[in-house]
Amino acid sequence: MKIDVDEIIYRAMTMADIPAIVSIEQEAFTSPWTAEAFTNELMNNMFARYMVMDLGGEIIGYGGMWVIIDEAHVTNIAVRADFRGQGLGNCLLSELQRTAVFFGAAKMTLEVRPSNEIAQQLYRKFGFKPSGVRPRYYSDNNEDALIMWAELDREQLKAGEQ
């Protein structure tokens, strides 16, 4: 389904969004987060910032991060399967970076599977560079995680809002 990205609303994730988010998690990941994990993030983690992509009242994607002092750590980012391939991951990551800057972050980090080349290509477009490995990070198959970092250019991100 082709969509107009100008119709997407980015907003803070709420407790009512969790069932839709868990559904997307299960589509996107081999070790999806549970409803309880998202509830804990929203209710108990003062560093957590989670947003959804809302298209006409339907959640089509989401992203989350922890913003601690001047660093943002991406925890999750996913788009519903039937909306992939339209550049929505670009839109979502861009919005996460703008939000991170708003909350004071100067750099952003994440972990990605070395086998997930599609995600790595997206991250590289946004300035992420490999900086290390977390051995046996993924519990489903003990795959390592590639650690990537990006500097957040406040001026460039502000210009993207106009």
Which of the residues are catalytic?
111, 123
Between 82 and 156, the higher pLDDT residue: 82
Q: Is 105 in contact with 71 (CB distance < 8 Å)?
A: yes
- The pLDDT assigned to 162 comes to 39
Instruction: Provide mean pLDDT across the span 73-91.
Output: 93
Distant-in-sequence, close-in-space partners of 30: CB < 8 Å, separation ≥ 6? 138, 140, 141
Write out the two tokens for 46.
């003062």
CA 112/CA 133 separation, integer angstroms = 10
- The pLDDT assigned to 153 comes to 80
**Burial state string for 86-106 with b = 16 or more CB within 10 A and e = fewer than 16:** eebbebbbbbbbbbbbeeebe
- The pLDDT assigned to 3 comes to 83
- The pLDDT assigned to 46 comes to 96
- The pLDDT assigned to 155 comes to 67
Q: Is 135 in contact with 144 (CB distance < 8 Å)?
A: yes
* CATH, range 5-160: 3.40.630.30
**Does residue 136 surpass a pLDDT of 90?**
no
Instruction: Provide mean pLDDT across the span 103-108.
Output: 95
- The pLDDT assigned to 158 comes to 54
> CA quadruple 22, 118, 71, 54: dihedral positive or negative?
negative
Where do we find the tokens 């009512």?
Answer: 16
- The pLDDT assigned to 159 comes to 52
Q: Per-residue confidence at 2, pLDDT binned at 50, 70, 90?
A: confident
Domain boundaries, the chain: 5-160
- The pLDDT assigned to 1 comes to 64
73 φ/ψ angles, rounded to the nearest 5 degrees: -115, 110
CA atoms within 13 A on the CB side of 56: 3
**Does residue 157 surpass a pLDDT of 60?**
no
* Mean pLDDT (the chain, rounded): 91
CA 20/CA 18 separation, integer angstroms = 5
Window from 2-11, 42-51, 55-64 with minimum mean pLDDT = 2-11
Query: Would you give the DSSP letter of residue 141?
Result: T
CA 35/CA 32 separation, integer angstroms = 10
